[in-house]
Amino acid sequence: MTVPERLPRDFFARPTLTVARELLGARLVRIEPDGQRTAGIIVETEAYIGEEDQGCHARAGRTPRTAVMYGPPGHAYVYFTYGMHWLFNVVTEQEGFPAAVLVRALLPTEGLERMAARRRNRPRREWTNGPAKLCQALAIDGSFHGADLCTPEAMLFLEPAVTFPDESVTTGPRVGLNTVPEPWKSIPWRFMVRSPHLFLT
């Protein structure tokens, strides 16, 4: 039995748009304390890039909340919003430059029963089709904020899995930036796989 391959720090230490595109098809894996894996294939991401990006939390500069985004790539930036939801990002670019990729949707592949239970037995398609939903399904919360996703010991990490061709990928404006000024509100930094099931052989 070989150690499962994990995406290395070099993967994340690249331009954020490249990482956001290439994370489509990667598998996000959570290993729970009892050893159970819950995982899914990433099918939607968004890029948040630097202090100039008025949609990025780092627009406010370095604060206690955003400090992780200024740190080394390949770490988790997990934050709490709307008083009840956790959202999971991966830090990108070189240390010192604040940027991250928000993971917005997965196709569930492992630990299906646990996902269903944590998603209150809703239909399968509603388990991980939103950034807060996938955090609930995989039990990702603030305890992972700042966690290194690239070490062999990490209990939350990414694995290479599927390659989605460019024809299957669409882009568009990022979601939920209603009060953000242009051009940041409309810049197409959202990446989606159109019909992911057609490409899963």
Partner DNA sequence: AGCACGATTAACT
Partner DNA sequence: GTTAATCGTGCTC
Going by C-alpha positions, the residue among 43, 5, 31 that lies closest to residue 144 is 31
A 10 A CB-CB count for 164 gives: 21
Residue 145: both structure tokens together: 């904020």
100 binds DNA (CB under 7 A): yes
Residue 137: CB minimum distance to DNA, A: 10
Going by C-alpha positions, the residue among 111, 129, 105 that lies closest to residue 23 is 105
Site size toward DNA, by CB under 7 A: 38
116 binds DNA (CB under 7 A): no
Instruction: Name residues contacting DNA, limited to 4-43 (CB under 7 A).
Output: none
Nearer to DNA by C-beta: 10 or 126?
126
Nearer to DNA by C-beta: 178 or 201?
178
Beta strand pairing call for 37-49 and 99-110: antiparallel
Q: C-alpha distances in angstroms, 96 versus 11, 71, 176?
A: 17, 6, 26
Is residue 58 within 8 Å of residue 51, measured between CB atoms? yes
Residue 88: CB minimum distance to DNA, A: 8
Instruction: Name residues contacting DNA, limited to 130-189 (CB under 7 A).
Output: 130-133, 174-180
Which amino acid is located at 112 in the chain? Answer: L
Q: What is the CA radius of gyration of the chain?
A: 16
A 10 A CB-CB count for 105 gives: 20
Question: What x-and-dash track marks residues 44-83 binding DNA by CB under 7 A?
Answer: --x-x------xxxx-x--xxxx--x-------x-xxxxx
Residue 13: CB minimum distance to DNA, A: 18
190 binds DNA (CB under 7 A): no
Is residue 38 within 8 Å of residue 61, measured between CB atoms? no
Nearer to DNA by C-beta: 169 or 177?
177
Nearer to DNA by C-beta: 125 or 197?
125
Note the residues at the interface with DNA (CB under 7 A). Answer: 46, 48, 55-58, 60, 63-66, 69, 77, 79-85, 87, 89, 100, 102, 119, 122, 126, 130-133, 174-180
